[in-house]
C-alpha cells in the first residue's frame, strides 16, 4: 500500500495496489471494457491501476490538481462542480477524466468532491494506452464513449440555444410570408446555414413553434396560424 499526496493539497487519498475480484467482475461489464474481459485482468496486475479510498468531503480532482488518468467510481457518490455551481452527481460505474486523459491542457474543467466515502479505480494514461494497444475493442469502446458524451453535450447546447433558434426561425418566417404562408426555397440543411444554426436546433425550433400552435408545416409549405406567438 502507498499514500498519494498531491502537491499543494493537504488531503490525501489512500491507494490499494490491486482490484478485488468483485471489482474486477464489475468492471468487466462496464461499457469501456465491453467485449474485452481480459483487459481488466491485465490492468489489475499493473502498477498503474489503483483503487483509491476517498473520504467524504475530499476533492478528487480540481482545476489545478488532477492526474492524466481515467477514473471509474466503484462505490459512493461524487459531486461535479464548476465555479461553485453543481453540474452533476456521479455514482457507481460513472466515468471521469476521459476528456483530459490525452489532453495537454494544464487545467481540469471541473472540481470533483466526494459526497460520501468512495472507492474509485484509476487507469493512468500509460496503462490505458497499453490496454487499447493490446485490445482494439477497448479503443472502440473509448471512442464510442467519447462520441456519446459529445452527443450529450450537443443536446445541452441545443437546449441553451433553443430560445435563440426559435427567435431566428420566427423572424425568418415573418419576413418571408406571403399572406399567412411561407414556401421554403431550400433544404433544411441550407436553411440552418442561412440562420447560422445547427440542424438539430432548427428542427427543434420548428417543433417548438408547431407544438405552440404558431405554425403548421407540410413539406416546404408553412402556414402561420398564430402571428402573435412569432412576434
Taking the C-alpha atoms of residue 10 and residue 6, their distance in angstroms, rounded to an integer, is 8
DSSP-H helix ranges across the chain: 21-28, 37-44, 125-134, 136-176, 188-194, 199-211, 227-230
Asked whether residue 45 falls in the same domain as residue 129, the answer is: yes
Flag whether 74 is in a domain: yes
Q: Say if residue 193 is in the same domain as residue 104.
A: no
In a domain, 146, yes or no: no
23 and 120: one domain? yes
- 117 shares a domain with 15: yes
CATH number reported for the structural domain that contains residue 166 in this entry: 1.10.10.10
- Boundary (domain end) residue, out of 83, 99, 134: 134
Identify whether residues 103 and 14 lie together within a single domain. Answer: yes
Distance CA(108)–CA(105), nearest Å, equals: 8
- pLDDT (0 to 100) of residue 188: 92
Its pTM stands at 0.65
Residues of the chain with pLDDT under 50: 1-11, 17
In a shared domain, residues 205 and 101: no
Please count the structural domains in the chain.
2
Residue 189's domain spans which residues? 160-230
Residue 58 DSSP symbol: -
Amino acid at each position: 500500500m502507498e499514500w498519494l499526496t498531491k502537491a499543494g493539497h493537504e488531503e490525501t487519498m489512500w491507494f490499494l495496489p490491486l482490484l478485488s475480484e468483485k471489482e474486477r467482475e464489475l468492471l468487466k461489464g462496464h461499457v469501456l471494457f465491453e467485449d474485452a474481459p481480459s483487459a481488466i485482468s491485465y490492468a489489475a496486475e499493473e502498477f498503474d491501476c489503483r483503487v483509491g479510498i476517498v473520504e467524504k468531503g475530499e476533492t478528487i480532482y480540481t482545476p489545478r490538481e488532477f492526474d492524466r488518468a481515467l477514473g471509474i467510481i466503484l462505490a459512493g457518490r461524487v459531486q461535479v462542480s464548476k465555479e461553485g455551481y453543481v453540474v452533476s452527481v456521479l455514482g457507481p460505474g460513472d466515468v471521469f477524466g476521459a476528456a483530459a486523459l490525452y489532453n495537454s491542457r494544464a487545467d481540469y474543467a471541473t472540481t470533483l468532491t466526494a459526497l460520501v466515502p468512495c472507492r474509485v479505480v484509476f487507469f493512468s494514461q500509460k496503462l490505458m494506452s497499453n490496454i487499447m494497444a493490446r485490445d482494439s475493442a477497448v479503443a472502440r469502446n473509448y471512442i464510442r464513449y467519447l462520441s456519446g458524451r459529445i452527443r450529450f453535450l450537443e443536446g445541452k447546447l441545443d437546449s441553451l440555444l433553443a430560445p435563440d433558434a426559435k427567435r431566428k426561425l420566427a423572424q425568418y418566417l415573418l419576413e418571408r410570408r406571403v399572406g399567412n404562408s411561407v414556401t421554403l426555397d431550400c433544404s433544411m440543411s441550407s436553411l440552418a446555414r442561412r440562420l447560422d444554426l445547427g440542424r438539430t436546433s432548427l428542427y427543434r425550433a420548428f417543433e417548438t413553434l408547431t407544438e405552440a400552435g404558431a405554425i403548421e408545416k407540410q413539406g416546404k409549405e408553412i402556414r402561420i396560424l398564430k402571428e402573435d406567438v412569432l412576434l
